[in-house]
Amino acid sequence: MYPDLSYLFHDLFGTAPDNWTSIFKMFGFLLVLSILTAAWFLYLELKRKAEEGHMTPRQIKVRVGEPATPFDLIANGLYGFVLGFKGGLLIANFREFQSDPIGNIFSWEGNWFAGITLAALFAGINWYQKNREKLPEPKTVLENEYPHHRVGDLAVVAAVSGVLGAKLFASFESVAAMQAFFSDPIGVFFSGSGLAIYGGLILGFLTLTWYIRKLKIPFWHFFDALGPAFIFSMAVGRIGCQMSGDGDWGIAAADMPEWWMLPDWLWSYEYPQNVNNAGVLMEGCDPEKYRELYGQRLTAEQRCFEACGVNYCHELDPKVYPTPVYETIMFTGIGSFLWWLRKKLTVPGILFFITLIFSGIERYVIEGIRVNDKIPFLGAEWTQAELISIGLVLVGIIGASVLWSRRLNSPPEKA
């Protein structure tokens, strides 16, 4: 597994694990790629809809030729200060920063000289750029803005609200998760694992609904465009779950059948050096030393480093189903089907509800072999995701039926 980029580079180029590239976590890296994937497909579809006349531009007023304002200088200076203040701490105390990056980021410790220097540099660059474009008399111009021009903003809104919702839902999936969250909310929220996708889907949907109404973007056309983009982003995101070993794996795998012709790891996998440090110690470790260190106030990474020479030293025993791989395959297939279907549907909103149906079915199916806490409901044991999956399928079927019925009962368009 590759909990961070240093382990990936170790396998590719032979460099040492846990070097400076370890601050770039694999889960976060693939999460960013998944957001960029969604933004790219959303841009393509919104642009196509604009070319077909489904999206009309709105005129916005833009001020040009103004000099740098005090707010511009303060904002850029503050950004530079934070970057230098914490970046200086990272360079000067890398090992300490590496062992507890979240704690160091949210501490009051840092390099004041580097912070002040970068603050002045960033503010100076902003002042120079603004004044170079300054006009004798600043003016206001009108520009046409289409929805696909705001994909960057839309992606940020969706990413922040989605990750927030996914983290909150994951923190309340079980009693143990709630206890961990309330004991260390910042550490849990910024950890390299623990996302409940339906939490992100729900909060992201609500936030985007508010935002697109503010921008006057057609509701159904927008979410039709978002459907395939979301599914493709999930396919990329699950690669991050698999590569980092973030705990999003399956139950203990049954014995591999004789008819299985694919690689063994596609049936069962031990997730060595997973980012959660879950399971048993790998070979080459000193178990006695690890047990001695366990009673001390050390993180799992610190214990691993002392007893094994690396920060991540666990693997699963028994092996489990690699469910993130299965989901990547399913999401890729679903996304490809929706991308093909998008031009064939003429009723706005239908594609969005079909996306809900397929995503609900996919998650319900995978839950059968996935590790999750169950809750009693209606005389049976369910996972949180199973109940939400059923709800999504029902909403998708009802919503698609209502929209289709309205189209059938609407008066024919005049020639």
For the chain, give the percent of residues with pLDDT over 90: 55
Which pLDDT band, with edges at 50, 70 and 90, does 108 fall under? confident
First-to-last C-alpha distance (Å) of the chain: 61
pLDDT of residue 59: 84
Handedness of CA 137, 142, 146, 150 (dihedral sign): positive
pLDDT digits (tens, 9 = 90+) for 54-81: 988 888 888 888 888 899 899 999 989 9
Q: Is the pLDDT of residue 179 over 70?
A: no
Measured CA to CA, the distance from residue 39 to residue 363 in angstroms comes to 23
Q: Is the pLDDT of residue 298 over 80?
A: yes
pLDDT of residue 62: 80
pLDDT digits (tens, 9 = 90+) for 307-348: 999 999 999 999 999 999 999 999 999 999 999 999 999 899
pLDDT of residue 415: 36
Measured CA to CA, the distance from residue 23 to residue 86 in angstroms comes to 13
Q: Is the pLDDT of residue 132 over 90?
A: no
pLDDT of residue 168: 76
Whose tokens are 């040009």? That residue is 64
Task: Sketch the domain layout of the chain as residue ranges.
Answer: 5-57+146-250+322-409, 64-142, 265-315
Copy the structure tokens of residue 140: 């206001």
Of 149, 151, 205, nearest to 35 (Cα)? 151
- Residues paired with 60 in a beta bridge: 143
pLDDT of residue 382: 81
pLDDT of residue 332: 97
Residues 39 and 33 sit within 8 Å (Cβ to Cβ)? no
Q: pLDDT: is 371 or 242 the higher one? A: 242
pLDDT of residue 175: 61
- Residues paired with 203 in a beta bridge: none
Of 166, 245, 388, 258, nearest to 177 (Cα)? 166
Angle (CA) 10 11 12, round 5°: 95
Measured CA to CA, the distance from residue 44 to residue 52 in angstroms comes to 13
| Least confident window among 101-115, 138-152, 207-221, 242-256 | 101-115
Measured CA to CA, the distance from residue 91 to residue 220 in angstroms comes to 49
Which pLDDT band, with edges at 50, 70 and 90, does 374 fall under? confident
Mean pLDDT of the chain: 87
Strongest mean pLDDT among 75-79, 171-175, 384-388: 75-79
Which pLDDT band, with edges at 50, 70 and 90, does 201 fall under? confident
SS3 sequence of the chain: CCCEHHHHHHHHHCCCCCCHHHHCEHHHHHHHHHHHHHHHHHHHHHHHHHHCCCCCCEEEEEEECCCCCHHHHHHHHHHHHHHHHHHHHHHHCHHHHHHCHHHHHCCCCCCHHHHHHHHHHHHHHHHHHHHHCCCCCCEEEEEEECHHHHHHHHHHHHHHHHHHHHHHHHHCCCHHHHHHHHHCHHHHHCCCCCCCHHHHHHHHHHHHHHHHHHCCCCHHHHHHHHHHHHHHHHHHHHHHHHHHCCCCCECECCCCCCCCCCCHHHCCECCCCCCCCCCEECCCCCHHHHHHHHCCCCCHHHHHHHHHCCCCCEECCCCECCHHHHHHHHHHHHHHHHHHHCCCCCCCCHHHHHHHHHHHHHHHHHHCCECCCEEEECCEEEEHHHHHHHHHHHHHHHHHHHHHHHHHHCCCCCC
pLDDT of residue 311: 93
Measured CA to CA, the distance from residue 332 to residue 86 in angstroms comes to 39
| Least confident window among 74-83, 200-209, 217-226, 405-414 | 405-414
pLDDT of residue 313: 95
Pairing of strands 374-377, 380-383: antiparallel
Which pLDDT band, with edges at 50, 70 and 90, does 373 fall under? confident
* Residue 77 Cα to chain centre, angstroms: 29
- Cβ neighbours for 342, distance < 8 A, ≥ 6 positions apart: 45, 224, 225, 227, 228, 351
Q: Is the pLDDT of residue 228 over 50?
A: yes
Which pLDDT band, with edges at 50, 70 and 90, does 414 fall under? very low
- Cβ neighbours for 298, distance < 8 A, ≥ 6 positions apart: 306
Average pLDDT over residues 277-305: 90
Q: Is the pLDDT of residue 289 over 60?
A: yes
Measured CA to CA, the distance from residue 314 to residue 276 in angstroms comes to 8
For the chain, give the percent of residues with pLDDT over 70: 89
- Cβ neighbours for 117, distance < 8 A, ≥ 6 positions apart: 84
Which pLDDT band, with edges at 50, 70 and 90, does 144 fall under? confident
To the question of pTM greater than 0.85 for the whole model, the response is: no
